[in-house]
Amino acid sequence: MITFDLRRPDRTIEPALRHKVDNLTKPKGSLGKLEHLAIQIGLIQQTLTPRLSNPCNILFAADHGIISEGVSVSPKEVTWQQLGHFAKGGAGINFLCRQHGFRLVLVDAGVDYDIPAGHGIIDRKVGRSTRNFLHGPAMTHDELDLCLRHGAEIVDMVADEGCNVVSFGEMGSGNTSASSMWMHAFAGTPLPQCVGAGAGLDRSGIDHKLNVLTRAWKNYSGDGSVSDLMAWFGGYEMAMAVGGMLRAAERGMVIIVDGFIMTSCMLAASRLYPEVTEYAVYGHQGDESGHRLALEALGAMPLLHLDLRLGEGSGAVCAYPILQSAVRMINEMDSFADVNVTKYFD
């Protein structure tokens, strides 16, 4: 399987970053999470003057075989229909990307439909939907490797064009089921706490979904390795997001993590390379029931609580202005040494 050369940011610069933030013209610590963010971004970029440039939201789309078990209210054709909608510019993620200056990159990772060329959708289709993981692996190890490589390739593309801050989104009916399985596998959270309403299941629908996923877990007969669990229960779009996250960290980019599905992807990525979390900023805590617990498993502090459960990268893009404020703070505020203001604390 593809390997990545991930290293934790060199912390030699951290005292200088803290000194700069602590000596801005404000009470020490008074800008809270903005101060922590500025230091984290400075560490990632290894500079006292961090910059955010050409933000991109990479959205991977694919279908899931488990949907044949009735675990989602969203029919499979919605995946390709919505992907076309993204391409036309009228979906939720489109207005958010326009508002916050993000480039939206659309990737067909495994949609069960022949997407016509000429619509700005990058074709990296690994298969027309994963297989039904109730009865066996959703994908082969070769397919998993190909997904990781494709995700890394897309990040290389945007990084080579000047992007240094990236978020990831997804589209795929049934992907909250796959995410619940990854969360259970990689965080050890009891499965009932991982399973939620997804695209809008009622109570009986959630109970049925839990029943299906419980049976799928009992049917698992793999070797228990991270890669095997990813292949058995994952989605093509999810595996590409993991590859993208790992390449982004390898290249020293800031990663803004979206909702439940992308947090499950970060969980998987962190089980392969724990260093990846040091490059991650968590955009929000969403409305899907397992999201809070997944964030807790990562020791993550989300920036927003807006009860979002749209996916697509929407919560990550919404959080971007907070990162901009953190960078503006460290670059644009005066220090006590530069102006005629008495520093009244140590």
Per-residue pLDDT, 345 = 66
Per-residue pLDDT, 236 = 98
Torsion, Cα of 41, 43, 44, 45 (10° steps): 90
Residues β-bridged to residue 255: 166, 280
Nearest 5°: the CA angle 110, 172, 198 is 155
Per-residue pLDDT, 200 = 74
Q: Which residues of the chain have pLDDT under 50?
A: none
Per-residue pLDDT, 227 = 98
The domain defined by 56-322 carries CATH number 3.10.129.10:
no
Catalytic residues: 312
Per-residue pLDDT, 292 = 92
